[in-house]
Chains A and B, each alone.
Chain A
């Protein structure tokens, strides 16, 4: 049984069947890519996994517990972290504060009334934050306001914020969308490093086939809200159904 088990998920938006009977199993300690043409339902699926959308039917089990009906922050506390297409960071706060917040969330849970303690006295949290910033090579930028970072740095900061929570599953929504080639390569190597060093299970939604084939160990192809095939990257490359979904029948 996989770390994440999705069974028979259906989701309709009015007349549109966004997800139709989706089954998906993400094994522990793998990088699983979900690809598909535009409108295939990738983002809808992701939003179901993090609790932003509630499906009409089906079940989502994570680590033996149901995810459905829980709020995003509860799902995060279960061990699922998410990286967004455009980095979601605390823009008005410093880089250091940005990584301290997930440290507190990890240690204290969804809410704690620590209104009198001083941040400056939280040595353990500060060391943790320093360590993760060092890991992503951003230690020298720790006092910068996050909004002034470059796009690539924002992405790395967001990644650091997710990693410092030590998630069991990291969801990445097009982590290289809109990036320059050099930044894309950096992100790929960063993700590879995370995968090898920390052994975090990852699920990636991505358009860029270069990224997909350099990272993924399993690939699921979605088309029109339904999984077409699930296989290893090598088998997916030449799969006729995949070419059909991407290129259209006429050209086969």
Chain B
């Protein structure tokens, strides 16, 4: 189906199902209940899930397949964001041209950086990409202020010379990004009993892009091109003595993953039309590396899982504060309650990075294949009950 093998097609269907039903799946707890703070089904976070999912899927095409670890991919995301905001300022508030230009700009930018960085491999490649990204960040932050807005970031203003569309709405406000009139921020809320589900236009637009991005990544993984990329990771010597030039293959992979990053940046700007230099900073580049490794580098679904997990931690774990903890452990005797809270407190709230760090450490040590490998192990443990299926799926190269 759609040029995919049965197994891949099934995976695609699962991803489509999960993203389309995400407002339900991510809101399992009734609004107003104790557990409601663990609900992730609000538009802002759902948008982030899929946008960072796209970013990680693209990063995985480079890192997962070729093994080239780029530490500067946030630069392409940032470039895409700036491009999109400029399209909003100059052309129209329609998101499609903005997203298109963000992909193009990120593609060109990654072509330039990739062309230079890919002259080296291994740690030198990583350092080169990191250096370029930090240069981009520094430029965006200071010298290029007329283009990037510098410290305050690039924002829409009331006097933007928009060619198609007005500078201001009738009520004197800045217009919002929309897809042919459908505003990205508009939501439809569905109340079922005490549950409240939010269906957001921006989320669904981003989700459609993510499904498309995921589909393309399956095609690339299963193509001769994808096989060549894995061959580069495996043995570059044999690659060149087989008459294949590794450079254009790695450059193509680099540009493709840069365009994915640009798409993510463009979508980010479409959800909230502003762009700041901090999107290019090395922490943002490092985050996508974490997402990919956490989920499972070189697997199809891993990067999406990793992105979801990190964003969930960042937004949900970080909101649990001391008061909430005291509420949870109120049943304990006073002294014990304070001790328990004091022990847990460093790992939640502002300390969520600590928890994430521990999870990351455990995954890297015990599940080098990421969460996907964890899932496979669980599946294998279940299957072992049936003796004929006991053989683990060791020959699967990906997924």
Contact = CB atoms under 8 A, between A and B. Distances in A.
Interface of A: 50, 71-74, 76-77, 81-82, 84, 88-94, 97, 100-102, 104-106, 108-122, 125, 143-145, 161, 165
Interface stretch (B179-187, B241-249, B322-330, B373-381): B241-249
Contact of B242 (A91, A105, A120): A105
B226 A115 contact: yes
Interface string B240-279: 1111110011001000100000000000000000000000
Most B C-beta atoms less than 10 A away, residue of A113, A121, A145, A161: A113
Given A113-B252, A119-B222, A144-B395, A104 B228 contact: yes
Contact of A116 (B5, B219, B228, B235): B219
B234 A76 contact: no
Contacts of A94: 395, 397
Nearest to A167: B243
Contacts, number: 119
B241 A81 contact: yes
A91 B235 contact: yes
B245 A161 contact: no
Nearest to A92: B234
Q: How large is the interface on B (under 10, 10 to 19, 20 to 34, 35 or more residues)?
A: 20 to 34
Nearest to A110: B245
B243 A73 contact: yes
Contacts of A111: 244-245, 248-249
B224 A93 contact: no
B223 interface: yes
29 contacts: A71-B245, A73-B239, A73-B242, A73-B245, A82-B241, A88-B238, A89-B235, A90-B234, A92-B230, A92-B397, A93-B231, A93-B234, A94-B395, A94-B397, A100-B227, A102-B242, A106-B243, A108-B224, A110-B245, A112-B225, A115-B219, A115-B223, A116-B223, A117-B223, A117-B224, A118-B5, A118-B223, A120-B5, A122-B224
B173 interface: no
B91 interface: no
Given A76-B243, A119-B223, A125-B224, 9 more contacts: A73-B240, A92-B230, A92-B234, A94-B395, A101-B231, A105-B242, A111-B249, A115-B226, A117-B224
